[in-house]
């Protein structure tokens, strides 16, 4: 978005009375959140909420353009920009379709996507420079060499950025990915997956799948050497966490089907089953596109994401060059018939057996209940799950509120998990990870153990029913222009 002084003045000047009211209420302990938040947090949450819940919707194309502006590269990060060529073979697309169809009910509608080149960025930590140090004018291959010269761990974080599947970019997430690289002494590989609504499901999932295989089996001309799966962690925030969970579920389903012995990829025959990554690490992962779980409403006071609009308050987004779609579609990310599909909403997955260890971090946010259900089912099925929830913290707080003790602790634990499952200690057998759940009190971060196997607020049958009911209601109310918009 436009961050010039004049643009910021136009944005915030009308909100001055609103800001004064927040400050006054917080100072007098009249705000319901005063006991859990400091003033800065209170202000930021309310301001972000007011921007996201604008009564006059901004056209989607304009929102997308704002979010895709590159902030530039400077300071303590190495960035090497790459393009992964698409394979000549179509096996990855065919096996994706087979997995989608095998997990569906036969009624879902989607378009088989083309396999395309994928842009991505290698990210590493650049030590001993000032925060405003400009990027060196070097070929991308030399940036990669400089990056690798400062990497001392085999940890490779395959990162998917958040943004509701239609916003943001690898450029917008360079700070968290470089921070993860720094804390793990490793590197991040951030994928510029195709965005909705122009490129709906399963485009982003296909890009993620291709990127994962490309790490392990580099296409011709790649900068990197083959990365074993035991050193790869799937990671993401919000919608990126959704893609990470869906990618893991896709790998598990392909291996469950066992209908292919080999996969052709850039002239090679890859033996199946597909190696499972070392771990999955998601912060505020969006597991339920239907947004049907109770916390979507009950935790709204702690979050900046507005709850789903009721039928009598549904607002229509202005028509522009990307919305409504042609042919019309009822949701930004997918056809409404796909909302309950496990590769769209991983909350609907029936099995995580065979999964790698998971780290799931949430605030007391609107998406918390869906995360709890995923964690509970996986743990009950024998998957190692580390669950962390922070009282009174909003969506993606560890990436936004790094001045808070909770934000710093959550981000550190996120990175520590990546290092434990994919670093040298994990390979040498020195790191033992056990299922563990922790609730962190507001402000103090005092810890309380929780049982991961009983976190879920609903049974799997109740979850399935809630998802079906919400999806059916969306389909009944839909008039072909997707009036209920996700706001993540």
Query: Tens of pLDDT along 198-252?
Result: 999 999 999 999 999 999 999 999 999 999 999 999 999 999 999 999 999 999 9
| Cα 290 from Cα 57, distance rounded (Å) | 21
Which tens digits make up the pLDDT trace of 95-113?
999 999 999 999 999 999 9
Q: What per-residue confidence (pLDDT) applies to 111? A: 96
User: In whole angstroms, how far apart are CA 461 and each of 59, 295, 342, 408?
Assistant: 38, 18, 15, 36
Which tens digits make up the pLDDT trace of 19-42?
788 888 787 777 888 899 999 999
Which tens digits make up the pLDDT trace of 274-294?
999 999 999 999 999 999 999
Q: What per-residue confidence (pLDDT) applies to 425? A: 67
Q: Which of 231, 213, 234 is nearest to 222 (CA)?
A: 213
Q: What is the CA radius of gyration of the chain?
A: 22
Residue 391 has pLDDT above 60, yes or no: yes
CB 248 within 8 A of CB 355: yes
| Cα 420 from Cα 433, distance rounded (Å) | 8
The size of the chain, in residues, is 488
| Cα 184 from Cα 425, distance rounded (Å) | 12
Quick one: average pLDDT of 314-319?
Answer: 66
Q: What per-residue confidence (pLDDT) applies to 481? A: 38
pLDDT-derived band of residue 6, with 50, 70 and 90 as boundaries?
low
Residue 7 has pLDDT above 80, yes or no: no
Q: Which of 362, 207, 210, 215 is nearest to 285 (CA)?
A: 362
Quick one: average pLDDT of 180-196?
Answer: 98
Two structure tokens written together for 449: 């153990």
| Cα 113 from Cα 91, distance rounded (Å) | 13
Query: DSSP string spanning 422-454?
Result: HSHHHHTT------EEEEE-TTT--EEEE-GGG
Q: What per-residue confidence (pLDDT) applies to 372? A: 98
Quick one: average pLDDT of 182-189?
Answer: 98
Residue 16 has pLDDT above 90, yes or no: no
pLDDT-derived band of residue 485, with 50, 70 and 90 as boundaries?
very low
């Amino acid at each position: 978005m436009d961050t010039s002084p004049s643009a910021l003045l136009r944005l915030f000047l009308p909100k001055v009375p609103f800001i004064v009211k927040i400050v006054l209420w917080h100072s007098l302990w009249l705000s319901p959140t005063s006991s859990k938040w400091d003033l800065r947090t209170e202000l930021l949450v309310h301001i972000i909420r007011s921007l996201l819940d604008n009564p006059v919707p901004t056209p989607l194309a304009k929102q997308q353009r704002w979010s895709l502006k590159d902030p530039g590269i400077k300071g303590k990060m190495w960035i090497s920009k790459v393009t992964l060529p698409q394979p000549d073979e179509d096996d990855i697309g065919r096996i994706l379709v087979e997995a989608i169809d095998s997990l569906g009910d036969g009624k879902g509608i989607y378009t088989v996507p083309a396999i395309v080149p994928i842009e991505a960025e290698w990210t590493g930590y650049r030590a001993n420079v000032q925060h405003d140090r400009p990027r060196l004018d070097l070929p991308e291959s030399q940036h990669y060499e400089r990056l690798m010269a400062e990497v001392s761990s085999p940890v490779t974080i395959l990162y998917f950025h958040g943004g509701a599947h239609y916003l943001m970019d690898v450029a917008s997430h360079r700070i968290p990915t470089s921070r993860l690289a720094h804390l793990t002494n490793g590197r991040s590989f951030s994928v510029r997956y195709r965005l909705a609504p122009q490129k709906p499901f399963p485009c982003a999932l296909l890009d993620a799948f291709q990127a994962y295989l490309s790490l392990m089996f580099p296409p011709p001309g790649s900068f990197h050497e083959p990365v074993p799966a035991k050193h790869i962690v799937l990671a993401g925030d919000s919608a990126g966490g959704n893609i990470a969970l869906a990618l893991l579920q896709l790998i598990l389903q392909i291996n469950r089907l066992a209908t292919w012995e080999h996969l052709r990829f850039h002239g090679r025959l890859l033996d199946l089953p597909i190696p499972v990554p070392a771990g999955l690490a998601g912060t505020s992962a969006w597991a339920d596109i239907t947004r049907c779980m109770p916390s979507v409403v009950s935790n709204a006071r702690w979050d900046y994401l507005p709850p789903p609009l009721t039928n009598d308050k549904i607002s229509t987004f202005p028509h522009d060059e990307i919305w409504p779609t042609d042919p019309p579609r009822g949701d930004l990310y997918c056809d409404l018939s796909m909302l309950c599909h496990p590769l769209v909403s991983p909350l609907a997955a029936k099995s995580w057996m065979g999964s790698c260890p998971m780290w799931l971090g949430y605030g007391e946010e609107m998406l918390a209940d869906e995360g709890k259900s995923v964690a509970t089912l996986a743990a009950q099925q024998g998957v190692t799950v580390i669950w962390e929830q922070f009282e009174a913290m909003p969506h993606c707080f560890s990436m936004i509120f790094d001045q808070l003790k909770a934000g710093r602790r959550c981000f550190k634990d996120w990175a520590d998990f990546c290092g434990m499952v994919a670093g040298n200690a994990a390979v040498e057998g020195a790191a033992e990870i056990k299922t563990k759940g922790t609730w962190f009190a507001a402000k103090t971060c005092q810890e309380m153990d929780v049982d991961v196997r009983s976190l879920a607020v609903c049974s799997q049958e109740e979850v399935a029913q809630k998802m079906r009911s919400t999806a059916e209601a969306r389909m009944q109310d839909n008039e072909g222009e997707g009036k209920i918009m996700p706001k993540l």
